[in-house]
A = this chain, B = another copy of it.
């Protein structure tokens, strides 16, 4: 398999972590979304939506969307429960991540750490901040009673770990979220864990 990715992207790191933990061999093609590499005709022919990560499967099919990629990788493994309700609950948290978490937590990290001129995004960052804290509060309430999001460690945890563990780079203080911080350490202790490259 081949993973088209930007190593400092949490969405890409989800794939790297699952590939590592499942021991799947792959090659990596590194791109930088800031220099137009994902908007070239060649790349758009692979993913018309112009985004990484993008996985090229062993059959040569291009699969987009980080959470769809890790679902594909994890199917049949212990990282994805097969029971109907648990499977749907894993997806519930993955859709929560993409709709209620990533647009506020990942985006503010991008503005602060990766964007050329953070000062252009001050107003949007301020608007995002309470929504990001709301997402962290939802996670905190859920994790106060559980070790992982759905049963054992799964791709729901991978999806939420990717940007939560670097939320402070986006200006979010994790101090008030004790259960989230304890869960971050539990994820770091899972077999085969690999850290995200520093941005």
Quick check: is A113 within 8 A (CB to CB) of the other chain? no
Copies of this chain assembled into the complex: 2
**Contact of B85 with A72 in the complex, beta carbons under 8 Å:** yes
Residue A153 CB within 8 A of the other chain: no
Q: Is the interface of A mostly helix, strand, loop or mixed?
A: helix
A89→B71 contact, CB < 8 A: no
A63-79 to B contact mask, C-beta < 8 Å, 1/0: 11111110110011000
- A141 in contact with B98 (CB, 8 Å): no
A126 to chain B, nearest CB (A): 15
Q: Are B88 and A72 in contact (CB under 8 A)?
A: yes
B59 to A88, Cβ gap below 8 A?
Answer: no
Assembled-state Cα–Cα distance A138/B49 (Å):
6
Could you tell me the distance between the alpha carbons of A84 and B57 in the complex, rounded to whole angstroms? 11
List of B residues within 8 angstroms of A141 by Cβ: 48
Tell me how many residues of A have a C-beta within 8 Å of chain B.
Answer: 35
A178 CB contacts on chain B under 8 angstroms: none
Minimum distance in angstroms from A132 CB to a CB of chain B = 13
B98 near A95: Cβ-Cβ < 8 Å: yes
A-B residue pairs, 4 tightest by C-beta:
A72-B88, A68-B92, A65-B95, A68-B91
* Interface flag for A100 (CB, 8 Å): yes
Q: Are A142 and B48 in contact (CB under 8 A)?
A: yes
Interface residue from B49, B61, B88, B142 paired with A63 (Cβ < 8 Å): B88
CB-CB under 8 A from A59, the residues of chain B are 85
Is A87 located at the chain interface by the 8 A CB criterion?
yes
Inter-chain contact B96/A64, CB cutoff 8 Å: yes
A193 interface contact, C-beta 8 A = no
Is A192 part of the binding interface, using a Cβ–Cβ cutoff of 8 Å? no
